[in-house]
Amino acid sequence: MAEKWLVGVDLGGTTTKLAFINMYGEIQHKWEIPTDNSNDGKNITINIAKTIDQKLEELGQEKTKLAGIGMGAPGPVNYATGVIYNAVNLGWPDNYPLKDLLEVETNLPALIDNDANCAAIGEMWKGAGNGAKDLVCVTLGTGVGGGVIANGNIVQGVSGAAGEIGHITSIPEGGAPCNCGKTGCLETIASATGIVRIAMEELKKEDAAGELKDIFAANDLVSAKNVFDAARNGDALALLVLEKVSLHLGLALANIANTLNPEKIVLGGGVSKAGNVLLDQVKINFDKFAFPRVKKSTTLALATLGNDAGVIGAAWLIKNKSSIQ
């Protein structure tokens, strides 16, 4: 068994990431294919099966080398039945039997979970979690995702929607509209999109000046990365944006920690690449709002696996949560 490989898949709206991973969680081969949303998303599992066979052939390996396939999917999942409730970007109808179709197409035992949950498991197994069994992972990207691991298990909730950290309400009244239909969600503030939105609000003020304002004047837009780079250089307007974002993120994380007292809260996703300029500011607010005993025992850390967290977590799922061994 030790020499067998697991297949980890991270299914995104535009790209599907795949990897062959050994039983120790080490990536042996990784590659990507475009996600084909046409035909009501019917090609997605077929294309995954095809690319796995092609890769095996390329590597001169037999199908028997593979022990099973785990996949993270972008939507709420019924973990027990392997049904994805809805996935707006993939063309699938509601309650799509993803696990069964994946098993039929690949002829491998399969397990699926939500993509943010898979990223959290990946960080627990091989990343910043470093084996911590009580861990919260927050993915700060175009949106804000979350995964909660308690005693080594992902918390699924009664309908697969546990860990929706991005939709914690940060602004109870008058907040920006969120993709979920509510307003004032954390996602409207701490995602890349939210950071840019807040920066634009500040940049449109009459007295706006400085490095970030110059970038805006030259390009008519700014990115989240511009905000962090300018903040690192001490730009007052960028620092103001950073303080707003960190206040809401630090407050939400402190409330999560006050509820769960995890060993670690790991910040991942594209926005977390800002590094310490973000982490340090979030920590200041986290410390302000965390219960004293929580403050002492829960640590904040940056994710270390980058884009590999999802495929590694998906591989862990099929290794540990199925009867393949």
Binding interface with Zn ion (CB under 5 A): 167, 178, 180, 182, 185
Minimum distance, C-beta of residue 141 to Zn ion, in the bound complex (Å): 14
Maximum CA pair distance of the chain? 66
Q: Which is nearer to Zn ion, 6 or 252 (CB)?
A: 252
Measured distance CA(194)–CA(63) in Å, rounded: 44
Measured distance CA(236)–CA(225) in Å, rounded: 16
Which distant-in-sequence residues (6+ apart) come within 8 Å of 209 by Cβ? 237
Q: Are 195 and 271 in contact (CB under 8 A)?
A: yes
Q: What is the DSSP letter of 38?
A: T
Q: Which two tokens stand for residue 163?
A: 């860990």
Q: Which is nearer to Zn ion, 178 or 265 (CB)?
A: 178
Q: Which is nearer to Zn ion, 138 or 178 (CB)?
A: 178
Q: Which is nearer to Zn ion, 131 or 177 (CB)?
A: 177
Minimum distance, C-beta of residue 170 to Zn ion, in the bound complex (Å): 10
Minimum distance, C-beta of residue 166 to Zn ion, in the bound complex (Å): 6
Q: Which two tokens stand for residue 2?
A: 């030790």
Q: Which is nearer to Zn ion, 178 or 203 (CB)?
A: 178
Measured distance CA(121)–CA(166) in Å, rounded: 18
Minimum distance, C-beta of residue 272 to Zn ion, in the bound complex (Å): 20
Q: Which two tokens stand for residue 320?
A: 């540990």
Minimum distance, C-beta of residue 165 to Zn ion, in the bound complex (Å): 10
Q: Which is nearer to Zn ion, 98 or 186 (CB)?
A: 186
Minimum distance, C-beta of residue 248 to Zn ion, in the bound complex (Å): 13
Q: Work out the number of other CB atoms within 10 angstroms of the CB of residue 232.
A: 16
Q: Which two tokens stand for residue 58?
A: 């390329």
